[in-house]
Amino acid sequence: MLKPEANKARTVLSLPSVWDFQLAGETFDSAWVRHPLPDPTPMAVPGSYNSQKATAAYRDHYGWAVYQTRLTVPSAFLTQRVWLRFGGVTHRAQVFLNGELLGEHRGGFLPFEFELTARLPLPEGALLTVAVDNRIDFTTLPVGTSPAEAQAAYQPSGVPSIDVAEARRAPFNRPNFDFFNFAGIHRPVCLYTTPQTYIQDVAVTPSLDGTTGLLRYSVTTSGATAVSVTVQDQAGVICAKATGPNGVLRLQNAHLWAPGKPYLYQVTVTAAADRYQLAVGVRTVQVSGTKLLINGEPFYFKGFGKHEDAAVHGRGEDDCQNVLDVDLIHWLNANSFRTSHYPYAEEMYDLCDRAGIVIIDEVPAVGLGWGQDGRAYRDPAIYANHAKTLQDMIARDKNHPSVVMWSLANEAALDQHPTLARDYFHRLYELAHVSDPASRPVTGVSYPNDYQKDLTTRTMDVVCLNRYYGWYNLSGDLDAACDALAVELDWWAAQHKPVMLTEYGADTIAGLHNVVPGMFDEEFQVAYYRRLNAVLDRYPFVIGEQAWNFADFATIQGTLRVDGNKKGLFTRDRRPKMAAHYFKDRWAAVPDFGYKR
Ligand code: GCB
């Protein structure tokens, strides 16, 4: 799905940034969608509703919540087609216009839209209602445990009072993942227009023929029409032209898009009265032997997993935060991150295209398959949802030069039902390859499991491992942690695959210091990374190190979490811990290319 853009053929109108809002419960009153909410409170959009109010009722809400605003379609729009577009609503949305259901969308991290043209003209100030459901269960992505499932699986504690209180607890979300279950209208909402015959999709796939850049393109339009495509370089000079819905554009002596050196061309598509422009990069990605090659050179991932997470916006799209984070990524001399554990807002990919930062793009399939007797891998509805989400993510992000690899999941259970899991993920792996016109490498991120029993991870193009030797296991013993990591890497050596760590880390309380490093202090976090990195450096097939996490982030309450997850290199408000300085120095000395020839 194309990102809306304003140009001489199209208009974009952002909707108001503060909406009316009211919490509901496991259902909401159907009268609410036809009338102004009975007891509304202001709520900023985009943003999570959990973090905008000073009561636990909002933070810990379970079920539906309802947003409302007034929508006026300007008369000037009436000669065109008009669309209402949501960048992302977490996790499930029902959208009503003047009481009528426009449609529903499941999944909290990808865009959806409705065409309004047939309903125009609308009365001024039409009532737009968005009902949002934050409930998660074993069928949703990300995965949670519903109250009914939790009750069915409950093992008595042996303490009568606890068992009684457990049975009486008010329903709440039990995420099978370690980030706060923020909810709401998380990404921008807009009206946009297109001409009657319009450009539905553009795919541009780069490749290289010597020094000539080839852009294979494909344009889908809503009706038969002539299509023309031009390419301009950064100076605005037209350097290639083609006509027809499919073709190849040739760029002599192409400037490459590369990590740290992001050259972007502008592709302009014209079809009937419509026009669409996008920035593209000439760069190739492929796996060859035990290397991942960008533009034919062996790339080394230096970076982290991130989260969309900030104090007030929660998971809401936040351009200020994103611009700062990109700058901090440069400050660290990092070159990459994984969109753990869901596709991020489109605005971040645009920034990374411009900044030359490499992205591993992840489906929100986190927590899949655990403790469910393998039923997740047998349930066609779960597979169908997973496959659709993967395809929607690829459809949205396929043109970004920053995206170099797709991640099918984070930490699915892979060693409990090894054959079922492998078959399930193999279909997704194939689907990712055929859905992406560029057929980028595909991975699935594996959790500390029995890697010898796990039959899935070894079938991926790149083996991505989350490993917490020295933290969750062998806790505090860095000699043993290094030993365990080396034992495992010795095993992977025989698989002849590129391997990278996509997570390793230690919770660290900023400002806690010790002469003798110990868990949770800043010296330990530095020692942990220094020691484990020395092991990684010994293995030529290890193609990257992504620390967990870029910054501290919010999680649910629990005995393992003191005000959230503290494994950040930065605090949640982006103050560097000692480990950030350590990585800044290390990564200054580790080149993006050819680190391990
Ligand atoms: C993991 C998860 C990540 C957690 C992290 C941790 O393996 O992938 O979501 O936050 O561990 O800190 O426990």
Q: Give the DSSP per-residue string, 359-400.
A: EEEE-S-BSTTTTSTTHHHH-HHHHHHHHHHHHHHHHHHTT-
Whether 357 contacts 301, CB under 8 Å: no
Q: Give yes or no for residue 309 CB within 6 A of ligand 1.
A: no
pLDDT at 147: 95
If you write DSSP's letter for every residue of 172-199 in order, what string do you get? --EESSSS----EE-S-EEEEEE-SS-E
pLDDT over 80 at 46, yes or no: yes
Nearest to 520 by CA among 560, 482, 556, 480: 560
Mutating to test ligand 1, I would choose from 466, 472, 546 the residue with most ligand atoms within 8 A of its C-beta, which is 466
Q: How far apart are CA 139 and CA 378, in angstroms?
A: 12
Average the pLDDT over 334-355 and give the result.
98
Kindly report the backbone phi and psi dihedral angles of residue 377, in degrees, each rounded to the nearest multiple of 5, phi listed first: -85, -10
pLDDT at 597: 72
Nearest to 441 by CA among 466, 463, 418: 463
User: Over pLDDT 70: what percentage of the chain?
Assistant: 100
Q: Give yes or no for residue 447 CB within 6 A of ligand 1.
A: yes
Q: Of all protein residues, whose CA lies closest to atom 9 belonging to ligand 1?
A: 178
CA of 362 to the centre of ligand 1 (A): 14
Whether 404 contacts 300, CB under 8 Å: no
If you write DSSP's letter for every residue of 5-26 in order, what string do you get? --SSS--EEEPPSEEEEEE--S
pLDDT over 80 at 126, yes or no: yes
Strand pairing report for 336-338 and 301-305: parallel
Nearest to 10 by CA among 278, 273, 256, 218: 273
* Close Cβ partners of 29 (under 8 Å, ≥ 6 residues apart): none
Domain boundaries, the chain: 12-193, 196-283, 286-589
Res. 449 pLDDT band, cuts 50 70 90: confident
CB atoms within 10 A of CB 238: 11
Res. 453 pLDDT band, cuts 50 70 90: very high
Q: How far apart are CA 219 and CA 283, in angstroms?
A: 20
Write down the catalytic residue from 113, 308, 317, 503: 503
Tokens standing for residue 597: 């020839």
Which ligand 1 atom lies nearest to the CA of residue 507?
12
Tokens standing for residue 50: 């959990």
Tokens standing for residue 138: 């074993």
Is 503 an annotated catalytic residue?
Answer: yes
| pTM for this model (two decimals) | 0.98
Res. 571 pLDDT band, cuts 50 70 90: very high
Cα 261 to Cα 110, 266, 316: the distances in Å are 28, 16, 29
Q: Of all protein residues, whose CA lies closest to atom 6 belonging to ligand 1?
A: 178
Average the pLDDT over 59-73 and give the result.
98
Q: Give yes or no for residue 565 CB within 6 A of ligand 1.
A: yes
Q: How far apart are CA 89 and CA 407, in angstroms?
A: 21
Whether 467 contacts 501, CB under 8 Å: yes
Res. 448 pLDDT band, cuts 50 70 90: confident
* Close Cβ partners of 368 (under 8 Å, ≥ 6 residues apart): 141, 143, 376, 382, 386, 409, 412, 413
pLDDT at 477: 98
CA of 513 to the centre of ligand 1 (A): 24
Res. 374 pLDDT band, cuts 50 70 90: confident
CA of 122 to the centre of ligand 1 (A): 48
Q: How far apart are CA 179 and CA 518, in angstroms?
A: 25
Nearest to 206 by CA among 122, 120, 131, 267: 267
Angle between helices 522-536 and 478-493 (to 10 degrees): 30
Is 100 an annotated catalytic residue?
Answer: no
Q: Give yes or no for residue 567 CB within 6 A of ligand 1.
A: yes
User: Over pLDDT 90: what percentage of the chain?
Assistant: 97
pLDDT at 373: 81
Q: Of all protein residues, whose CA lies closest to atom 5 belonging to ligand 1?
A: 178
How many helical (H) and strand (E) elements, i.e. helices and strands, does the chain have?
Answer: 11, 34
CA of 366 to the centre of ligand 1 (A): 10
pLDDT over 90 at 293, yes or no: yes
Res. 97 pLDDT band, cuts 50 70 90: very high
Which ligand 1 atom lies nearest to the CA of residue 177?
9
pLDDT at 210: 96
Kindly report the backbone phi and psi dihedral angles of residue 295, in degrees, each rounded to the nearest multiple of 5, phi listed first: 50, 35
pLDDT at 193: 98
Which ligand 1 atom lies nearest to the CA of residue 472?
13
Angle between helices 578-589 and 522-536 (to 10 degrees): 20
Which ligand 1 atom lies nearest to the CA of residue 565?
12
Summarised one tens digit per residue, pLDDT across range 156-190 is 999 999 999 999 999 999 999 999 999 999 999 99
Strand pairing report for 246-251 and 212-221: antiparallel
Q: How far apart are CA 108 and CA 103, in angstroms?
A: 15
Summarised one tens digit per residue, pLDDT across range 479-502 is 999 999 999 999 999 999 999 999
Cα 460 to Cα 135, 495, 514: the distances in Å are 31, 11, 41
Average the pLDDT over 357-365 and give the result.
98
Q: Give yes or no for residue 176 CB within 6 A of ligand 1.
A: no
Kindly report the backbone phi and psi dihedral angles of residue 249, in degrees, each rounded to the nearest multiple of 5, phi listed first: -100, 135
Nearest to 35 by CA among 50, 53, 18, 22: 22
Q: Give yes or no for residue 11 CB within 6 A of ligand 1.
A: no
* Close Cβ partners of 65 (under 8 Å, ≥ 6 residues apart): 21, 22, 23, 24, 49, 131, 132, 134, 183, 184
* CATH class for the domain made up of 286-589: alpha beta
Mean pLDDT taken over the chain: 97
Whether 399 contacts 202, CB under 8 Å: yes
Whether 83 contacts 116, CB under 8 Å: yes
CB atoms within 10 A of CB 386: 24
Can you tell me whether residue 116 is helix, strand or coil?
A: coil
Write down the catalytic residue from 308, 411, 488, 545: 411
Q: Give yes or no for residue 466 CB within 6 A of ligand 1.
A: yes
Max CA pair span of the chain: 77
CATH architecture of 12-193: Sandwich (2.60)
Summarised one tens digit per residue, pLDDT across range 212-221 is 999 999 999 9
CA-angle at 337, arms to 331 and 342, nearest 5°: 135
pLDDT at 16: 85
Average the pLDDT over 125-141 and give the result.
97
CA of 229 to the centre of ligand 1 (A): 44
Q: Give yes or no for residue 362 CB within 6 A of ligand 1.
A: no
Looking at domain 196-283, what is its CATH homologous superfamily?
Immunoglobulins (2.60.40.10)
CA of 577 to the centre of ligand 1 (A): 19
Whether 227 contacts 271, CB under 8 Å: yes
Tokens standing for residue 466: 């989350």
Res. 136 pLDDT band, cuts 50 70 90: very high
pLDDT at 315: 98
Summarised one tens digit per residue, pLDDT across range 404-436 is 999 999 999 999 999 999 999 999 999 999 999
Identity at 424, one-letter amino acid code: Y
pLDDT at 283: 98
Res. 272 pLDDT band, cuts 50 70 90: very high
pLDDT at 408: 98
* Close Cβ partners of 385 (under 8 Å, ≥ 6 residues apart): 106, 107, 139, 140, 141
Nearest to 427 by CA among 466, 382, 396: 382
Q: Give yes or no for residue 503 CB within 6 A of ligand 1.
A: yes
- Facing residues of 68 across strands? 20, 129
CA of 517 to the centre of ligand 1 (A): 22
CB atoms within 10 A of CB 520: 16
